[in-house]
């Protein structure tokens, strides 16, 4: 029997579902042109093996972009509030297909906050997910 690793589509879908349910805002994997802020945008930026003595597992790094509407005074308050909503949403575990086990998920921190050419505030938050896809067996 071959082991099947978690597909990126399933992982992003799990993250999007949780973010949308807990924040009430849209979480895209591809942002439509002229999408109206506020919204989130999730992308997988890394995957590395992290096998243990007993399990096959991978660690995925996902960046979630936080896009806040422009503020006439240039304040960052709106983006800070959206970051906080995101952090709170991801204190709950994502839901994966039955054949996979979430070992841990963690907030890896805020990467950057900048102002886009549209005057929207744009933050990038990093999260990591360790997911097992099978056990090692001695014969």
- 15-41 pLDDT, tens digit per residue, is 999 999 999 999 999 999 999 999 999
C-alpha closest to that of 8 among 129, 90, 98, 108:
129
58 — phi, psi (to 5°)? -125, 150
Confidence (pLDDT) at 3: 84
Q: Distance between CA atoms of 54 and 37, rounded to whole angstroms?
A: 44
- 54-98 pLDDT, tens digit per residue, is 999 999 999 999 999 998 888 999 999 999 999 999 999 999 999
Confidence (pLDDT) at 2: 67
Q: Which domains does the chain have, with CATH numbers?
A: 8-135 (3.30.2000.30)
- pTM attached to this predicted model: 0.94
């Amino acid at each position: 029997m071959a082991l099947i690793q978690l597909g990126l589509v399933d992982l992003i879908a799990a993250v999007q579902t949780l973010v949308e349910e807990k924040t009430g805002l849209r979480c895209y994997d591809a942002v439509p042109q002229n999408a109206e802020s506020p919204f989130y945008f999730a992308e997988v930026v890394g995957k590395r093996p992290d096998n243990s003595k007993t399990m096959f597992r991978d660690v995925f790094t996902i960046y979630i972009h936080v896009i806040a509407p422009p503020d006439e005074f240039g304040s960052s308050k709106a983006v800070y509030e959206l970051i906080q909503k995101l952090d709170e949403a991801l204190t709950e575990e994502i839901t994966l297909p039955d054949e996979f086990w979430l070992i841990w998920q963690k907030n890896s921190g805020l990467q950057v906050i900048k102002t886009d050419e549209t005057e929207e505030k744009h933050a990038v938050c990093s999260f990591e997910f360790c997911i097992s896809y099978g056990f090692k067996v001695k014969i």
